Structure 1
């Protein structure tokens, strides 16, 4: 794994650790700058995979895609999607996205409908509304959520 993929994976792990350590004493929704409560994004996962983090997978995929980390982004494609493109072809797409838009585009407002090992995910891409997603397919392969929109 290259250093960029390692950094992305470590960032995702740190975010997971922070969310796991959140206090249950704070039942109120966080307030926006105007003092109005802000709804937290929700992600549902099958009971057998309660500890899997679909949001983390989406965050890593989005970060690797826009940073030009083709190895990580391609590795997050479902087996079915990997069968539709070569690593070299996918690298060209990811390299162009990184060149055109740069790396600072996180997935936000993630919402998912999960049924078994399939998920339909909607999210926004910060700074790039044309890349916002609605009902994007993801699939659980083994214990890993994979991008399945090919």
Structure 2
């Protein structure tokens, strides 16, 4: 019981889990007035921001691994800073297994990328189990890949 409680406390302190995110503007583009009148009918749709798409994909992958449970994949998604705090992957695998056992398979129900500034981003996302939901969870881009940095 103590190991299970410790695992849950660590998970909560580390931002509990991971994440996904779908960015949202405060006001959808369709509701924003055009800068110089109506756009020509042939104007291309705005391009998706690759950094946001990559961050969302990383958050969703980490979350999926966390609740699968796949401790190896979830550990690989940790930033260097978080991996150093966690230490050996084996105890982290136990945390992941305990969370999956306690909550079952969970999927992100909504995701918002709060901000991205250089190699740092923050993501908020929700689950069907409210206490698993994350607000402004930290992520860091290391070696070109987004890593969970909410430890």
| TM-score in terms of structure 2 length | 0.63
Report the equivalent of 2:65. 64
Whether contact under 8 Å (1:112, 1:121) holds in the other structure is: yes
- In the comparison of the two structures, how many residue pairs are matched? 106
**Structure 2 unaligned spans of 5+:** 1-28, 32-47
CA drift at 1:111: 2.4
CA distance in 1, matches of 2:109, 2:83: 22
Tell me the CA shift for residue 50 of structure 1: 4.1
CA-based RMSD of the aligned residues comes to 2.3
The corresponding residue for 1:102 is 104
Which structure is larger by alpha-carbon Rg, 1 or 2? 2
RCO higher in structure (CA 8 A, sep ≥6): 2
Task: Compute the TM-score of the two structures, normalised by the length of structure 1.
Answer: 0.63
Q: How does 1:1-150 map to 2 (within 5 A)?
A: 50=51, 53-85=54-86, 86-106=88-108, 108-125=110-127, 127-150=128-151
The runs of 5 or more residues in structure 1 that have no matched partner are: 1-26, 30-43
